[in-house]
Structure 1
Amino acid sequence: MKGFNRQNQLFSLCGLNCGLCPMFLNKYCPGCGGGEGNQSCKIAKCSLEHGSVEYCFQCSEYPCEKYDHIDDYDSFITHRRRRADLDKARQYGIGAYNAEQMEKAEILDLLLSNYNDGRKKTLFCVAVNLLDLEELQEVLRQIENRSNLETLTLKEKSAFAAGLLRAAAAKNNIDWKLRKKK
């Protein structure tokens, strides 16, 4: 959107964790305010109208009607926790929130570099986006503690990591399926 620029390309104005999104990582999406040619965004336009707040939670009108049902349906899985992530960033401060997201991005990079058999990128991105940092760290410990890990093929390592992530999601009642509007 013309005139809209953001410093933090990892966490958006509306609460998307862009740095954990496969679209962003594949360079299909520059993130909001990541350059000219972005699609028009009603929330970015609203930000400009309200003094260019960096995050919606900084606006005196937050949460406004734009957030009434923002997490009810997903057009993409990273949309799932926008409101909760904005509230977390507001509660702990953007610095602490960004530090946690950087740790999650490092975990994602590790998973993609060492356990992606070419078919798990989206699964790993979704898992890192939706699971708490502590759960992700526990999954990494379980991976590292597997005694025969170095003897496994990449496909077997990938399946093992994916299984641990799915189990962590199930334990926390996290459903990875898109919730489509009916």
Structure 2
Amino acid sequence: MNEELIAPCGMNCALCAAYQFRLHDLNQQGFHRKYCPGCIPRGENCLHMGDVCEKLAQGTLRFCYECEAYPCKRLKALDKRYRTKYHMSMIANLNLIRDQGMEAFLAQEAQKWRCPTCRGNLCCHNGLCMHCQTDDLRRNPKYRWNED
């Protein structure tokens, strides 16, 4: 896990499908998905919040928890969607970073999202390891967390 891959909204870009597809160059294996190097590395500040938050769009905050409006309505909605569909919480991520520091957060993420087979990172969007479970994704392109 890498601090540069933690977006201001609390998203861990290392767990994102678009990042992992790029990391493993899965389009060369017949997939057709958008690639992304992460919010911070591509200079976008935050994919999820930068378009509606002036502070993030301008890069005046590193993390949403630094804002006096934290957690804002938009972040709460994003958090609810990610908790419901993807088994992760942006707000919990941000609170852990704020309260315990980046090192503790990255250590927890590395353990929580580690593939039990190859020890790579699982994808938060589908629960699969893009290194060793691509056959599951190939059989079901809409695969998400053992759901049909």
Map of 1:13 onto structure 2: 8
Higher helix fraction: Structure 1 or Structure 2?
1
- Number of matched pairs: 117
Q: Which of these residues, 86, 92, 101, is aligned with residue 84 of structure 1?
A: 92
* Residue 61 of structure 2 is aligned to residue 35 of structure 1: no
Q: Is the 8 A contact 1:57 1:86 kept in 2?
A: yes
Residues 1:46 and 2:50 aligned together: no
**8 A Cα contact 1:13 1:56, kept in partner:** yes
Q: Cα offset for 1:9?
A: 3.2
Report what 1:68 is aligned to.
76
Q: Closer, same or farther in 2 for the Cα pair 1:77/1:34, shift >3 Å?
A: farther
**2-structure distance, mates of 1:71, 1:123:** 17
Query: What is the root-mean-square deviation in Å for CA atoms of aligned residues?
Result: 4.2
> What TM-score do the two structures reach when normalised by structure 1?
0.47
Larger Rg: 1
Contact 1:73 1:80 (8 Å CA) reproduced: no
Superposition TM-score, scaled by structure 2 size? 0.55
Out of 108, 111, 114, the position equivalent to 2:117 is: 111
Alignment partner for residue 127 of structure 2, among 110, 123, 129?
A: 123
| Paired residue type of 1:26 | F
Q: Residue 85 and residue 43 in structure 1: after superposition, are their counterparts in 2 closer, same or farther (change >3 A)? A: farther
| Residue aligned with 1:88, SS | helix
- The CA distance in 1 between the partners of 2:119 and 2:87, in whole Å, is 25
Distance 1:32 1:26, change over 3 A: same
Give distance in 2, aligned partners of 1:37 and 1:53: 13
Distance 1:122 1:55, change over 3 A: same
Structure 2: tracts of 5 or more residues without a match = 23-34, 137-143
Partner of 1:147: none
Q: Distance in 2 between matches of 1:104 and 1:66?
A: 26
How many Å separate the matches in 2 of 1:86 and 1:21? 17
